């Protein structure tokens, strides 16, 4: 694969999903997405209307993304469903669902699966990525999480929220790719801060990346190739 700025941009979900993400940052990320033709821009729900209007007013081609059950995942399934229904009105294209880590750690694998299926049923054919927050998981729990993601009908499995000390590593992305094969795709997020990491993860089989403040630097570096 030719790793240039166009290729990298097509794999980037530029994300302003921290507690201190501002309207100014959302605008800057949307501008960046338009400039480089990034795949998507993810924002916290309160900024969805602003992002939608900005995209429409500026002929943006990027997808709009939003997290559900973010960042802890511990709300009820009914609340996650309500979130999904509410966000659909903002022309959201992709949903990143936070898995119920408490259920997973408790061995409540059926409940984890039901949580995912319920949201997928609401959003229909729209893209669902499930965040499993690898920071808390060993390989066995990652395997159980991956099984639920596949059976739940999601299209992607995602390493983390970016709210924990670590997220995507070469080790956990390689393991997830081995576990899921071609059943779902792997998105790396949390700690992806430079082009070299992205290059190595592409070799592993990662196909999307959630990137925040490092996006501009990564894309500028990729322009040199």
**What integer pLDDT is reported at residue 222 of this predicted model?**
86
pLDDT tens digits for range 70-120:
999 999 999 999 999 999 999 999 999 999 999 999 999 999 999 999 999
Residue 28 banded pLDDT, cuts 50, 70, 90: very high
Radius of gyration of the chain (CA): 16
Q: Crossing angle of helices 195-204/215-222, nearest 10°?
A: 80
pLDDT tens digits for range 129-141:
999 999 999 999 9
Reduce the DSSP state of residue 149 to 3 states and report it.
helix
In whole angstroms, give the CA distance from residue 87 to residue 48.
8
Longest dimension (CA), the chain: 48
In whole angstroms, give the CA distance from residue 173 to residue 200.
10
Asked whether residue 64 carries a pLDDT value surpassing 90, the answer given is: yes
- Residue 200 φ then ψ, to 5°: -65, -40
38-48 mean pLDDT: 98
User: pTM score, two decimals?
Assistant: 0.96
Could you give the domains of the chain?
5-222 (3.20.20.70)
pLDDT tens digits for range 184-207:
999 999 989 999 999 999 999 999
Give the residue numbers annotated as catalytic, written as ranges: 96, 158, 187
**What integer pLDDT is reported at residue 1 of this predicted model?**
65
**Mean pLDDT score of the chain:** 96
């Amino acid at each position: 694969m030719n790793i240039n700025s166009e290729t990298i941009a097509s794999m980037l979900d530029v994300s302003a999903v921290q507690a201190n993400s501002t309207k100014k940052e959302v605008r800057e990320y949307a501008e960046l997405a338009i400039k480089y033709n990034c795949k998507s821009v993810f924002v916290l729900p309160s900024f969805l209307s602003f992002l939608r209007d900005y995209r429409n007013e500026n002929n943006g081609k990027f997808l709009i993304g939003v997290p559900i059950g973010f960042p802890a995942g511990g709300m009820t399934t009914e609340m996650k469903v309500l979130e999904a229904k509410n966000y659909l009105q903002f022309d959201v294209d992709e949903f990143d669902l936070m898995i119920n880590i408490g259920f997973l750690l408790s061995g409540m694998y059926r409940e984890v699966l039901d949580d995912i299926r319920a949201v997928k049923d609401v959003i229909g054919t729209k893209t669902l990525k499930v965040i499993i927050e690898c920071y808390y998981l060993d390989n066995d729990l990652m395997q159980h999480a991956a099984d639920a993601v596949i059976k739940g009908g999601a299209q992607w499995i995602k390493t983390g929220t970016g709210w924990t000390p670590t997220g995507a590593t070469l080790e956990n992305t390689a393991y997830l790719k081995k576990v899921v094969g071609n059943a779902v795709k792997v998105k790396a997020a949390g700690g992806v801060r430079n082009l070299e990491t992205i290059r190595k993860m592409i070799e592993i089989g990662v196909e999307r990346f959630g990137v925040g403040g490092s996006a501009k630097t990564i894309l500028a570096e990729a322009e040199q190739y």
